[in-house]
């Protein structure tokens, strides 16, 4: 996975304006800041589904899929597949070898007690100060022990327009991934979560950046029209990761960074079928009545 991560970085850097002029031929203004997406996983070592999602993201981004090639031309992806490798090695559930929950120490990580977190925070701060790039997304991937489906946590803002913009990515992901639930997605400023990556970086980065926690159930998911939960497998976790990656194309196309010049057979984001015997009903691929009601209550317009 680490080898794949370096390939993502290399592929993205090779296509940046300062490394390769071919980007200019792909309708990208060389004067424009390069968009940057940062993903991390396994800060809680026992949440192994996060690794399969991360692997799905990486596998898709380094593939020859036309959507992946467009994304590599326009966006830099930085991926840390394992924020707590020592905890994973020791078989810990939530903490580091010294007993720290690293996802509560983003505000002031110690280079001695929390070395991986300290290094990643320094890297993010450095990238955020680089005028050549625009750090637009930070997504930290976790697994949830009680809730079903994939869903997200986001932050609370006073600016209503920013609230609306923050809801766009999870809504697009809900349309692409049958197992992702917008109705389970929530936005909060819980005090006990102040030291998490989502909360800390949400306050550090500017108002064009969005920080999320992506959660996925340890157990099962429900699709629209289904009557029973479907158990997750390694493959369906990986497919969710692929759907996360491809959703960035929809997001950046919506924001006019990427022109819609894809071949007709990938005109809309391809949705990977999660199971061959689940009958999906309704529109939106996984968007049920609860999802629509939540969007309505948030004032989201289609």
Active site residues: 215
Alpha-carbon gap, residue 101 to 94, rounded angstroms = 6
Contact 12, 77 (CB under 8 A): yes
Angle between helices 49-61 and 234-254 (to 10 degrees): 50
Closest CA to 56 of 272, 220, 239: 239
Contact 136, 37 (CB under 8 A): yes
Q: How many CB atoms lie within 10 A of CB 68?
A: 20
Q: How many CB atoms lie within 10 A of CB 158?
A: 6
Residue 48 makes CB contacts below 8 A (sequence gap 6+) with: 42, 143
Q: Distance from CA of residue 287 to its chain's centroid?
A: 19
Name the pairing type of β-strands 150-154 and 210-217.
antiparallel
Query: What tokens appear for 102 in the block?
Result: 């690293």
If you compute the radius of gyration of the chain from its CA atoms, what whole number of angstroms results? 19
Query: What tokens appear for 26 in the block?
Result: 């792909």
Query: What tokens appear for 11 in the block?
Result: 């592929």
């Amino acid at each position: 996975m680490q080898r794949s991560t370096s390939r993502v970085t290399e592929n993205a850097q090779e296509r940046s304006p300062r490394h390769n002029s071919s980007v200019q031929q792909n309708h990208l203004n060389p004067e424009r800041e390069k968009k940057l997406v940062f993903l991390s996983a396994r800060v809680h070592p026992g949440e192994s589904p996060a690794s399969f999602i991360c692997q799905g993201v990486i596998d898709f981004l380094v593939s020859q899929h036309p959507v992946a090639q467009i994304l590599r031309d326009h966006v830099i992806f930085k991926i840390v597949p394992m924020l707590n490798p020592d905890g994973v090695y020791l078989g810990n559930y939530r903490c580091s070898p010294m007993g720290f929950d690293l996802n509560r120490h983003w505000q002031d990580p110690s280079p001695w007690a929390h070395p991986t977190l300290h290094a990643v925070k320094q890297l993010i701060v450095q990238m955020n100060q680089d005028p050549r790039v625009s750090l637009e997304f930070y997504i930290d991937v976790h697994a949830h022990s009680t809730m079903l489906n994939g869903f997200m946590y986001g932050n609370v803002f006073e600016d209503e327009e920013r609230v609306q913009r923050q809801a766009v990515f999870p809504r697009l992901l809900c349309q692409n991934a049958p197992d992702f639930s917008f109705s389970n997605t929530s936005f909060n400023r819980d005090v006990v979560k102040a030291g998490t990556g989502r909360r800390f970086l949400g306050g550090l980065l500017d108002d064009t950046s969005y920080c999320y926690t992506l959660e996925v159930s340890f157990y099962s998911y429900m699709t629209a029209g289904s009557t029973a939960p479907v158990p997750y497998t390694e493959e369906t976790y990986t497919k969710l990761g692929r759907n996360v990656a491809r959703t960035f194309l929809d997001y950046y196309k919506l924001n006019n960074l990427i022109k819609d010049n894809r071949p007709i057979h990938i005109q809309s984001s391809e949705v990977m079928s999660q199971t061959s015997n689940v009958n999906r009903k309704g529109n939106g691929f996984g968007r049920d009545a609860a999802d629509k009601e939540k969007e309505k209550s948030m004032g989201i317009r289609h």
